[in-house]
Amino acid sequence: MVLNTGSRTDIPAYYSEWFYNRVREGSVLVRNPYYPSQVTRYLLNPEVIDIMVFCTKNPLPMLRDSASLKALLSTFDTFWFVTITPYEADIEPFVPPKEQVAASFQTLSNLTGKQRISWRYDPVFITEKYSVAYHIKQYAAMAKTLSKYTSQCVVSFIDLYEKTKKNFHGIRSVTHEEQEQLIEAFSETARAYGLQIHLCCENTALARENVDADGCMSKAVLEKALGCKLEVPQKKMARAECACLLGADIGAYNTCGHGCLYCYANYDKSTVISNMRKHDPHSPFLIGKQREDDIVKDAVQKSWKNRQLDLSAFL
């Protein structure tokens, strides 16, 4: 199975101590975001977890605890999505400087191998300040640096969720013409630096020779990272338009402190602050503790690995 840590919050940036404690204790409890009394227990066991997937804007806190990180990487297979965008504090008020995140990206790549780390340049949106020309220039500069440490990049255009429209006044969709212009330029840059672009939930018409619309956390991407095939059970995907393996997320909504205006996972700042105050690094829950009315059920966990070595993953 795939254990996802990053669709609801940024665990490496804000909850690394808690995560390492959970790994040492061997389990984690996760509330259903829509039915809070329903709780799922996941065993953190490499016999059943084929790969742990992280999505972060700041991996540095996990890197600082080098002993715990070394133990994690020696026990579990991991895949890391690190988001590095060209936005400033007006959009991402509490994201560290891009140079610092890029340095952490390089360190992670050296530890895991460039096949197990991906650069996320998303979401892309257009304003007077962050124009098409601005994105093309910034993408090229970032690709030049990061392509030495990864072979792939995820690109997506902003989705106007209700939370996003509430917190990001005046934001608009990226037009088809702007998407075409950006992807054409990004593709040319990526080709020069040997990067494969994975579009996240975007129109297949944008696909190019080195640009696919098959998803960022797809079975194919993770198989290449692992070097073996995954026999994924047939089940309803988390998003109808997306083939990514997004289930089994141990995070929680309304808990990320980056404060990005485009965020889909936070409702508002006050809710995030309230939740973060309830965090206990020693609790089995990311936020709060167990309640009397909790109904705890063990997750069905099984390895999906086909143990035959897949040589094509190394080609």
What tens digit of pLDDT does each residue of 269-299 get?
A: 999 999 999 999 999 999 999 999 999 999 9
The answer to whether 312 and 9 have CB atoms below 8 angstroms apart is no
How confident is the model at residue 126, as a pLDDT? 98
Strand ranges for the chain from DSSP E: 2-4, 27-31, 38-43, 51-56, 78-83, 117-124, 152-157, 196-199, 211-212, 228-230, 295-298, 305-309
Q: Dihedrals φ, ψ of 191, to 5°?
A: -60, -40
Dig out the tokens for 103 from the structure.
Answer: 């340095």
pLDDT of residue 171 exceeding 90, the answer is yes
Spatial separation of the C-alpha atoms in residues 88 and 92, rounded to whole Å:
6
pLDDT-derived band at 308 (thresholds 50, 70, 90) equals low
Distance of CA 153 to the CA centre of its chain: 12
How confident is the model at residue 312, as a pLDDT? 55
Average pLDDT over residues 225-248: 78
Q: In terms of pLDDT, which residue wins out, 296 or 309?
A: 296
pLDDT of residue 311 exceeding 90, the answer is no
pLDDT of residue 313 exceeding 70, the answer is no
Spatial separation of the C-alpha atoms in residues 209 and 186, rounded to whole Å:
12
pLDDT of residue 23 exceeding 70, the answer is yes
pLDDT-derived band at 204 (thresholds 50, 70, 90) equals confident
Spatial separation of the C-alpha atoms in residues 105 and 55, rounded to whole Å:
12
DSSP 278-308: T--TTSSSSSS---TT-EEEE------EEEE
Mean pLDDT, the chain, rounded, equals 93
How confident is the model at residue 44, as a pLDDT? 98
Closest to 101 (Cα-Cα) out of 77, 116, 80: 80
Residues in a beta bridge with 228: 309
Single pTM value for the model: 0.93
Going across the sheet that includes 295-298, the strands are 27-31, 38-43, 295-298
The answer to whether 7 and 253 have CB atoms below 8 angstroms apart is no
The answer to whether 65 and 13 have CB atoms below 8 angstroms apart is no
Average pLDDT over residues 95-122: 97
Closest to 190 (Cα-Cα) out of 224, 225, 142: 142
Encode pLDDT of 58-95 as tens digits: 999 999 999 999 999 999 999 999 999 999 999 999 99
Closest to 153 (Cα-Cα) out of 104, 192, 117: 117
pLDDT-derived band at 241 (thresholds 50, 70, 90) equals low
Going by DSSP bridges, is the β-strand pair 117-124/228-230 parallel, antiparallel, or unpaired?
A: unpaired
Encode pLDDT of 138-163 as tens digits: 999 999 999 999 999 999 999 998 88
Spatial separation of the C-alpha atoms in residues 91 and 97, rounded to whole Å:
13
How confident is the model at residue 203, as a pLDDT? 83
Spatial separation of the C-alpha atoms in residues 8 and 252, rounded to whole Å:
5
Rounded to 5°, the CA angle 22-23-26 comes to: 85
pLDDT-derived band at 245 (thresholds 50, 70, 90) equals confident
pLDDT of residue 51 exceeding 70, the answer is yes
pLDDT of residue 266 exceeding 90, the answer is yes
Every domain of the chain and the residues it spans? 2-314
Dig out the tokens for 257 from the structure.
Answer: 């402190």
Spatial separation of the C-alpha atoms in residues 259 and 217, rounded to whole Å:
24
Average pLDDT over residues 17-34: 97
pLDDT of residue 176 exceeding 70, the answer is yes
